[in-house]
Amino acid sequence: MAEDAVALKNKGNDAFKAKDWPTAIEYYTKAIDLNDKEPSFFTNRAQANIKLEAYGYAIADATKAIEINPDFIKAYYRRAVANTSILKHSDAIHDWKVVVRKNPADKTAKAQYEACQKMVKRDAFLKAIEIADAPSAAEGLDLENMIVEDSYDGAKLKDEMTQEFIDDMIERFKNGKKLHKKYVFQIILAVKELVYNEATMVETKVAPDHKLTVCGDTHGQYFDLLEIFRLNGFPSEKHGYLFNGDFVDRGSWSCEIALLLYAYKMLFPKFFFLNRGNHETDDMNRMYGFEGECKAKYNERVFKLFSESFSALPLATLIGDKYLTLHGGLFSDDAITLDDIRKLNRHNQRQPGQAGLMMEMLWTDPQTAPGRGPSKRGVGLQFGPDVTKRFCEKNGLEAVIRSHEVRMEGYEVEHDGRCITVFSAPKYCDSTENKGAYINIESDYKLQFNKFDAVPHPDIKPMAYANNGMSSMMGM
């Protein structure tokens, strides 16, 4: 029995090395079923869960390993990483402290402990200075008199976005060049106003001879975004796109993706749609790199303006009265309807918080079991096929389309066809061997699924701009 369990663990390790995290978890779970007294089985599964961003499950596994062996340092390490990842710094700090005490020579753990202490202090500071109606970062920004130097070698942007400017921008970004700050400010401010004036749930139809493409998370993987456009066609008045949140963070071209998507929104405001994701939020941007990237490539004001524009984004898009598209998923209460989403005043609440409709729309995940369950992430909740069925029937929907999670094939159809996950960041974070996917919808409203592979990109690692030690944790 013990030998069989070790053999299964080794198969899990092989899958882990191949960056196939779901298969690794399957084998570790089988090993645990045979022998639930071996702490390393739990910490191995915790690490695979961390790779899948199932931080709640990782915390549970690490806790179990600590119960079996309170001196098992790796378990404290894993639990600290998982708690840090979901911004529970005050929980993580206790485990980092244990690791440092038990293994004082571990420099990485020491750096994490110090970074965590800083995060706890910063969280307290930000809470203390929070102002409900803080002035906009646009105040005092004199765009009209901002000079674009003669030495600037890019296309010029006047009052209206042009295809010529976008084409030039795509090439600039490919070559590692930046936009002039004036144009960055101009684009963000224009899109902030556009999306602010859209409904919380945008409602759109696909006209004959038109097409709408739904994309999931792109997470700063700019070169993979261009691959979608290369394979599937660039946005136009006849070919709309909907990007379903998580444009930024993790990947190291988040500024480039956000600016390109915003430029297309300016050019085709009625055919190009953007839903907010859980990474279009301040606390995630501070942790996962976007804030650091904005400061490194432009300045802090650019980040603050992006933050304001993110909080103005719609939370959902209803396609042809058939498909509700939102980043996370469904709700803790069966009574919620499309009308409740329509009525939600997202402008009253800039950040999603720990509870409520906005948080659930950005954070929840499907589960295979009926009913509702605690979130594997440690944030939000999970909803079963019966919850999805009732919601779709009550609201006259064919399905819910959501993103928010890696799928090894780029997409997955679950809950008897009523819950569809689409994820558009292939080889996610350079560390998962997943495909990307996108969905084409024409006027017959049939879903056409398309998979694609990652393309090469310049040698800049994911999380390159995360300034809190998260990048060093990526490899743990």
Find the CATH number of the domain harbouring 308. 3.60.21.10
- Report the distance separating Cα 473 and Cα 467, nearest Å: 12
Same domain, 117 and 179: no
Give the residues across from 373 on adjacent strands: 382
Catalytic residue, chosen from 239, 279, 327, 404, is 279
Annotated active-site residue 210? The verdict is: no
Burial of 178 (C-beta count, 10 Å sphere; 0-12/13-18/19+): middle
Of 140 and 428, which is predicted with more confidence?
428
**Spatial CB neighbours of 471, under 8 Å, sequence gap ≥ 6:** 289, 461, 462, 463, 464
- Our count of domains for the chain comes to 2
Q: How many residues does the chain have?
A: 476
For residues 29 and 22, the answer to whether their CB atoms sit within 8 Å is: no
Q: Based on the fold, state whether residues 264 and 331 are members of the same structural domain.
A: yes
Residues 312 and 259 in one domain: yes
- Out of 28-37, 108-117, 191-200, 272-281, pick the least confident: 108-117
User: Looking at residues 443-471, what average pLDDT do you find?
Assistant: 89
- Within-domain flag for 147: no
Alpha helices in 35-162 (DSSP H): 39-51, 55-68, 73-85, 89-102, 107-129
Is the pLDDT reported for residue 194 higher than 80?
yes
Q: Is residue 150 part of a domain?
A: no
pLDDT above 70: residue 59? yes
Strand order in the sheet with 419-422: 201-204, 316-319, 323-326, 399-402, 419-422, 411-414
Based on the domain organization, do 354 and 417 belong to the same domain?
yes
Render 258-272 in DSSP notation, one character per residue: HHHHHHHHHH-TTTE
Residue at 117 is within a domain:
yes
Q: Give dist(CA 29, CA 12) in Å, integer.
A: 9
At residue 129, does pLDDT exceed 80?
A: no
Report the C-alpha gap between 103 and 380 in whole angstroms: 34
For residue 123, what pLDDT is reported? 77
> pLDDT at position 475, please?
45
pLDDT at residue 352 in the model: 83
Q: Is the separation of the CB atoms in 49 and 41 below 8 Å?
A: no
- The residue-averaged pLDDT of 156-171 equals 97
Judgement on whether residues 49 and 193 belong to the same structural domain of the protein: no
Q: Is residue 245 included in any domain, yes or no? A: yes
What is the domain range of residue 49?
A: 2-129
What percent of the chain shows pLDDT beyond 70? Answer: 97
Domain match, 124 and 172 both: no
From 129, 153, 176, the end of a domain falls on 129
Do the domain assignments include residue 140?
no
pLDDT band at 476 (very low <50, low <70, confident <90, very high): very low
pLDDT at 58 over 60: yes
Contacts (Cβ under 8 Å, ≥6 apart) of 228: 213, 215, 424, 436, 438, 452
Sheet holding 211-215, edge to edge: 272-275, 239-244, 211-215, 436-441, 447-452
State mean pLDDT over 374-402: 96
**Are residues 182 and 76 part of one domain?**
no
In a domain, 291, yes or no: yes
Residues 415 and 325 in one domain: yes
Residues 88 and 169 in one domain: no
345-353 mean pLDDT: 86
Residues 66 and 177 grouped into a single domain: no
Task: Confirm if 116 and 85 have CB atoms less than 8 A apart.
Answer: no
pLDDT at 469 over 60: no
Of 50-54, 331-335, 417-421, 434-438, the one with minimum mean pLDDT is 50-54
- HSE, CB side, 13 Å, CA atoms: give it for residue 251: 28
Identify the domain boundary among 129, 144, 171. 129
Residue 132's pLDDT band, with cuts at 50, 70 and 90, is low
At 180 the pLDDT is: 97
For the cut 80, the answer to whether the pLDDT of residue 470 exceeds it is no
Residues 356 and 460 in one domain: yes
Report the C-alpha gap between 268 and 262 in whole angstroms. 10
Mean pLDDT computed over 45-66? 95
The tokens describing 53, both together, are 């961003």
Q: What is the CATH number of the domain that holds 14?
A: 1.25.40.10
146 assigned to some structural domain: no
In 3D space, the residue among 54, 53, 55, 49 whose CA is nearest the CA of residue 32 turns out to be 49
Is there a contact between 303 and 222 (Cβ–Cβ < 8 Å)? no
Is the pLDDT at 176 greater than 80? The verdict is yes
Per-residue pLDDT for 57 more than 80? yes
pLDDT at 341 over 50: yes
- Domain ends where: 114, 129, 144? 129
Residue pair 191/262 in contact by the 8 Å Cβ criterion:
yes
Band of pLDDT at residue 239, cut at 50, 70 and 90: very high
Task: For residues 78 and 179, state if they share a domain.
Answer: no
Give the pLDDT band of residue 210 (cuts 50, 70, 90): very high
pTM over 0.85: yes
**Structural domain includes residue 158:** no
Mean pLDDT of the chain: 94
